[in-house]
A = this chain, B = another copy of it.
C-alpha cells in the first residue's frame, strides 16, 4: 500500500489506472478511522478494482471556535487499518498541498446547506463542498462512499456531484453502531465514561420516532415532540435539533406521505452527537 502526499501524484495514479481500465473506489475521511470507515472501505473493496482512502482533516470545514486542533490524528494507526483492509492508496495531503497560498475558490450548495448543521455551523458545508470537489476531481473515482451518519453532508455531496458534473457515483452507506445503538464517530472519544453511557439516548429517541411512524403516526410535530421527550429524560443531554424531514430536500415535513428522514443532534457535555434514521411509512392493510 502506498501513501501519497501530493495532489499531482494522486491525480497521476488515478489517470494511469483509468488508462488500464481499472475501476477506482474512493472513501474520503478525516482519519481517526473506526469500524464505520472500515465498513465503507469494505464496500469499496468489493465493488471496485482499486481503492483509495483520503485522510485529511479539512480546516475549512471547522469554525475558529471548533475542535480543529484537538481533532484526533493517528495516521500510523489509520495506515495500518487501511493496509489490513486491502486499500491500494492512502492519500494524506498536507494543508499546504490542498490550500496553497492564494487559493480562495469556494463551492456552495446554498439550499441544502442552509438548515440544520448549516445553521449550527455556518461555513461548514462550504468547506465540505469545496474539499469534496477537490478530492473527487483529483481521485476521479468510479464510485465514492459516504457514511449515512452525516446524512446532510451526504445529500450536499450528492447534489454538488450532480450539479457540477463531477466524476463518480455517490453511495451512502448505512451507519455502523455500538451494541447500545450509539453511532460510531471519531468524536465519541471526547465523551467521558458517564457521558458515553448517556449518549445512546439519541438513537433511542430516533427509534421512538420511527416506531410511532410504524404504528400509524404521520404528523411531523407529534413525532418531533416524542423524540424531544425521549431525550429530555436523560439529564446529561440537551437537544440541538430533532426533526422530521423530506429525505432529499431536508425540509421539515408537516405530514409524512411516504419517505422521511429523522434527523437528530444532541449535546452531551461539550460534544455534539449526530444521528439519523430513514423511515418509510407503510399503508396499513
Chain B, Cβ-Cβ closest to A8: B165
Known contacts A18-B18, A133-B164, A134-B164, A106 near B107 by CB under 8 Å: yes
8 Å CB interface, A140-189 against B: 140, 159-160, 162-167
Contact A165 B134 (CB under 8 A): yes
Chain A 92-132 per-residue mask, 1 if CB under 8 angstroms from chain B, else 0: 00000000101111111111100000000000000001100
Complex alpha-carbon distance, A163 and B131, angstroms: 10
Query: Besides the contacts A105-B109, A137-B165, what 11 more A-B pairs have beta carbons closer than 8 Å?
Result: A15-B18, A18-B18, A18-B19, A103-B163, A104-B112, A104-B159, A105-B159, A106-B110, A137-B166, A137-B167, A138-B165
A positions within 8 Å CB-CB of B: 7, 11, 15, 18-19, 21, 100, 102-112, 129-130, 133-134, 137-138, 140, 159-160, 162-167
Chain B, Cβ-Cβ closest to A110: B104
Which of A105, A137, A159, A167 counts the most B-chain CB atoms under 10 A from its CB? Answer: A105
Q: Which residues of B contact A138 (CB under 8 A)?
A: 165
Known contacts A19-B18, A21-B19, A105 near B134 by CB under 8 Å: no
* Closest Cβ–Cβ distance, residue A100 to chain B (whole Å): 8
Chain B, Cβ-Cβ closest to A159: B105
Q: Which residues of B contact A100 (CB under 8 A)?
A: 162
* Closest Cβ–Cβ distance, residue A185 to chain B (whole Å): 26
* Closest Cβ–Cβ distance, residue A167 to chain B (whole Å): 7
Contact B109 A163 (CB under 8 A): no
* Closest Cβ–Cβ distance, residue A124 to chain B (whole Å): 16
